[in-house]
Structure formats: structure tokens, C-alpha cells
Amino acid sequence: MTAALAAAMPVGPLGDALTGLVRVALATRAFGWPLGLALVVVGLAALVASDRLRRPAAAVGGAAVGVLAALAARRLLGPQLELSAVASAGLGAAVLGVACAAMPPLFPAAAGALAGALAGVHLPIGGRAAVGAGLGALAAALLALAASRAVAVVLCALSGGLALGVGLLAAAGPRPLASELAIRPFALLGFAVVAGVAGAAFQLARGAAAARPGPGALRD
């Protein structure tokens, strides 16, 4: 990443996330087209079939949420955690991945809880950030659980759009445009959002059409 782009990044957790996205894109490109092709396949599967592959999608999504939760906890708690970053991320991925595979609705609930906790920690209640984080996590988890299927499809589709974008950049090889886009996190996120919204709309519409009774059923 150039110095000008690094200076343009926002500060705080958002800036860290964007910088991490650039590092992932660059590292994926370093592995070449085989990894890029694999990510393209995974991304397309998440965009068009995650609703039909609920258990595998929940396992992968839960593992990702576990990694993010572990990294967020390390950032908030700092030296209070004795585990290394790799160990805590691996533990979070293993625990939540297995749990979500066993009970798929846990995936959107866990994702909602993480988002609610990260938002609530900045809204302390009674001067205690932990209370705000706990209540935020509980409220967001319950809301996500109430619409678990739709939330899971949207999360998987957005993740699939991101995987597809990173995979295409890696599969493009040393082309200058791909090299330029790899260090432009907002362009990559924009592609992921557009592809993810389209994929989620397709899957939710297909599910609604499948649940609608046909003319023969109505006559019966």
C-alpha cells in the first residue's frame, strides 16, 4: 500500500479492517491463480446456493465470526488475554464453527451478537462499557435470530461477494488493473456489496417462490 493510500485510511477499528482487507487481497494475489480460482468457486457458491447449503455455510460463517470475535476481544481487552492472536482466533473459529454446524441458526445470532457488542461498547450504561456491550449483544442476537434465514443468506452473500472479488483479483495475475484494485479497499467492498445484494435477493426470491403453493395445490 502506498503512503498516500495509507494516509487516506480512516483511523480506529474501521481503518484497521480496511488495512487488513488490503493485506488479504495482496497475500491472495501472491499465491496466484489457483487460490484465486478456489475463492471464485467458493464466492459463487455462497452467492447462489448458501441457502440450500445451510449447515456448511453456517459452519464456515460461524468460524469467521469466531475469528472476528477473538480479534475484537484482543483489541478491547489487550494484555488481559493470555492467548496469542493466532491461538485465540483458532479457538474462536473452532468453537463457533462446530457450534454453528450443529445448530445453523446460531450463526446469524452470533454475528448479530458480535455487531451489537461492538456497537454497545461505545454506549456505556451507568458508566460501564461492559453493560452496554452485553445489552447490545443480546438485543442484536435476538433480532438476528428472529429473521435467522434472511440474515444468514445476506451475510453469506456479502461474504461470497467479497471472496469472489478477491478471487478475481488473484486470478487476474500481474495485470496492472488488478494490482491497482487490490490496494483500493473501497472498490473491493463496493463490488462485494453489489454482488452480495444481488445474490441475497436471488436466493430469498427463489426461497419465497418455492414456498408459494402452486395452482394445483390451491385447487385441492
DSSP per-residue string spanning 141-166: HHHHHHTHHHHHHHHHHHHHHHHHHH
Q: Are 66 and 94 in contact (CB under 8 A)?
A: yes
Query: Quick one: pLDDT band at residue 146, thresholds 50, 70, 90?
Result: very high
Query: What pLDDT score was predicted for residue 10?
Result: 58
Range of the domain at 79: 30-103+148-206
pLDDT tens-digit profile of 3-21?
555 555 555 667 777 888 8
Q: Is the pLDDT of residue 55 over 70?
A: yes
Q: Is the pLDDT of residue 165 over 90?
A: yes
User: CA distances (Å), 177 to each of 73, 138, 153, 164, in order?
Assistant: 36, 44, 31, 16
pLDDT tens-digit profile of 56-66?
999 999 999 99
Q: Which of residues 6 and 50 earns the better pLDDT score?
A: 50
Query: What pLDDT score was predicted for residue 211?
Result: 66
Query: What pLDDT score was predicted for residue 85?
Result: 74
- What's the one-letter identity of residue 22? V
Average pLDDT over the chain, rounded to an integer: 85
Whether 80 is covered by a domain: the verdict is: yes
CA distance 117 to 140: 8
Q: What are phi and psi of 81, to 5 degrees?
A: -90, 125
Q: What residue spans of 50-105 are helical by DSSP H?
A: 54-77, 85-102
Whether 160 is covered by a domain: the verdict is: yes
| Residue 32 region by backbone torsions, left for phi larger than 0, else alpha for psi between -120 and 50, else beta | left
CA distance 57 to 45: 10
Whether 161 is covered by a domain: the verdict is: yes
Q: Who contacts 53 (Cβ-Cβ below 8 Å, separation ≥6)?
A: 45
Whether 128 is covered by a domain: the verdict is: no
- Cell numbers standing for residue 152: 444468514
User: In total, how many domains does the chain have?
Assistant: 1
Count of residues for the chain? 220
- Point out the least confidently predicted range of 18-22, 97-101, 165-169: 18-22
Whether 138 is covered by a domain: the verdict is: no
Query: What pLDDT score was predicted for residue 40?
Result: 94
Query: What pLDDT score was predicted for residue 12?
Result: 62
Query: How far from each other are the two terminal CA atoms of the chain, in whole angstroms?
Result: 64
Query: Quick one: pLDDT band at residue 214, thresholds 50, 70, 90?
Result: low
Whether 67 is covered by a domain: the verdict is: yes
Whether 158 is covered by a domain: the verdict is: yes
Query: Quick one: pLDDT band at residue 108, thresholds 50, 70, 90?
Result: very high
CA distance 219 to 47: 35
How many helices (H) and strands (E) in the chain? 11, 0
Whether 92 is covered by a domain: the verdict is: yes
Nearest residue to 22 via CA among 4, 9, 39: 9
Q: Is the pLDDT of residue 44 over 90?
A: yes
